[in-house]
Structure 1
């Protein structure tokens, strides 16, 4: 009997997959569109498995709720690295046997082909993405150039867009206050460092427009509601390439991490879920994804040939978080830090917002 993989392009209730054999949940927007082209359509063509996509602003939240309620309707989910570690530790996710992942296209075993940290007990990286900040080049022809400029309301007047949460915002604030990327987590691990981060955010708090979904950041910029905003780098790239927006990314102070495919505990379709993950995280799958949106492949073999955007002319290397020229003052997200401090720092963040 033909197997069926179902993904949808809109967030729906937990009953959305009642008639589906397998459901995959991702983040939607330009990211979801890229995954549909890179993973879903080729997977359908090769396997005959019907494929649709479900969106969420943060797939980790509904996945945890499903498993805890015993009503698991998602079989594969795309979640952030720290969430993959935390939910695995909590028993929310199925372990994934790394030995079952395909070798690279050049024959390199998967364990050697994936970049460090890209395969965990319960997750396999789909890409390396980045929190950056961006601005409208038609309004600021000469800059900004550094993360400190984001906090300079005198030199660069206007509203600022920031994601509504502690993660990546506190690190960004410390780098804006002069802390080198290599020292951020050492500083943020102290009470004084936390105070310093919030003090820096205080300097722009009255001018901040908060966003929650990844699609909101480029829209705020396009609508002129903010002069500059933090954003997922792929969303800004997509707006510039696909819609012709005059957006410019500032890579200084970028905060990057792996995005992970995981399998919720109790999925009734374990084998189909694994088949989809093995296909999508192969050399060919990750190369195809990087040609759709500017997130770096998590396999070394996927970078051995020049990556060209789907327009057939744009070389992707300068637009990837992992390109050497973009890594000068870059910070890799510490999953361990956020597994340990997520609750307390987000409680503090919410209290700060209400002040």
Structure 2
């Protein structure tokens, strides 16, 4: 493990590393930004003397693009999803990031080899992995669901279901529930037959679907007993069950996982300090601190190997609650940003038309 003094010395080697001007980080607000502040920004400030301030928005990537196009960039670092980072990078709105400038693993493994394959980008360094999962009410169901197919089985598991009003996640779940191996989902979903198959599967439970538009809604629907199962974000389910005490559980089969991380806008006011922050906050140590507050998986393999931390409630073991736990990844699907960049417009039109059918 990197010693704090060594890390601090590396960061302070930046010429004129003064903390006169706070580093501005834009993120999503709420529990997520609070986690980033506690696990990443505050330790960075303590190690370097560099203050960090957060700006909250529901569209960090959009804010970056707006500022870059206006030539008035005030953001130094932004937290965005991998798909958004790819678009910003392709359009020249964010800086390239060199993996060689990132901190190595404790055993000296270079950062480029320590991140999960496919997570590092030309302009993007991942901070966490989160997923959309099937959550269910343990008290409302006589038996626990065991597979994604059970989400669509109204005979064995009667009751309404909550799904996001979006083709992304919903169509993938429908195909996996219909027996399509996770590795073949996007190949099939790129075809007309695949789209029809997914919508046909949804037709089977259409009358029992409650659609949600914001991440807090599926948890509230479960808490209010309006639904017995819901497609929801794993971190929200964890908090509701393990911290708030609701009788909820996660079915990890067919979890759909995504990657969040940092980008540096083109023309950022403090580009070198921004790079120092990105390096510090994507170390294995930093990712473990993050996961102990919110149960999102660390993208660094060396961090995954060290997951023996207590959970945020101080009593549960953390690892089984993370998307990256080996047993939870058994039938997982990586939500491919390249696929959605190419097909989102078409699939959204089809999905919206299907929603409007009587």
TM-score category (smaller protein) = 0.7 to 0.9
CA deviations 1:281-326 (Å, max 9, x no partner) are 0111111111112111111221332232234432212111121211
Q: Distance in 1 between matches of 2:233 and 2:212?
A: 12
Establish whether residue 343 from structure 1 lines up as the match of residue 338 from structure 2.
Answer: no
Change (3 A) 1:4 1:342: farther
- Assess if the C-alpha contact under 8 Å between 2:97 and 2:122 holds in 1: yes
- Structure 1, 132-141 or 30-39: larger mean CA deviation: 30-39
The within-5 A match list for 1:42-53 is 42-53=43-54
**Cα drift, residue 103 of structure 1:** 1.2
Change (3 A) 1:61 1:342: farther
**Cα drift, residue 200 of structure 1:** 1.8
Change (3 A) 1:116 1:341: same
Q: Secondary structure at the match of 2:232?
A: strand
**Cα drift, residue 75 of structure 1:** 2.7
Q: Distance in 1 between matches of 2:204 and 2:63?
A: 35
- Assess if the C-alpha contact under 8 Å between 1:128 and 1:256 holds in 2: yes
The within-5 A match list for 1:97-246 is 97-246=98-247
Q: Secondary structure at the match of 1:168?
A: helix
- Structure 1, 282-291 or 299-308: larger mean CA deviation: 299-308
Q: TM-score normalized by structure 2?
A: 0.87
Change (3 A) 1:339 1:3: farther
Gaps of 5+ in 1: 6-21
**Cα drift, residue 141 of structure 1:** 4.4
**Cα drift, residue 4 of structure 1:** 4.0
Q: Distance in 1 between matches of 2:56 and 2:144?
A: 34
- Assess if the C-alpha contact under 8 Å between 2:24 and 2:55 holds in 1: yes
- Assess if the C-alpha contact under 8 Å between 1:81 and 1:257 holds in 2: yes
- Assess if the C-alpha contact under 8 Å between 2:76 and 2:265 holds in 1: yes
Residue 62 (structure 2) aligns with? 61
CA deviations 1:240-298 (Å, max 9, x no partner) are 22211211000111111222211223322222322221111011111111111211111
Q: Secondary structure at the match of 2:167?
A: coil
* Root-mean-square deviation over aligned CA pairs: 2.1
Q: Distance in 2 between matches of 1:208 and 1:3?
A: 53
- Structure 1, 74-83 or 60-69: larger mean CA deviation: 60-69
- Assess if the C-alpha contact under 8 Å between 2:304 and 2:324 holds in 1: no
Residue 7 (structure 2) aligns with? none
Q: Please tell me whether Structure 1 or Structure 2 has the larger radius of gyration of its CA atoms.
A: 2
Change (3 A) 1:77 1:153: farther
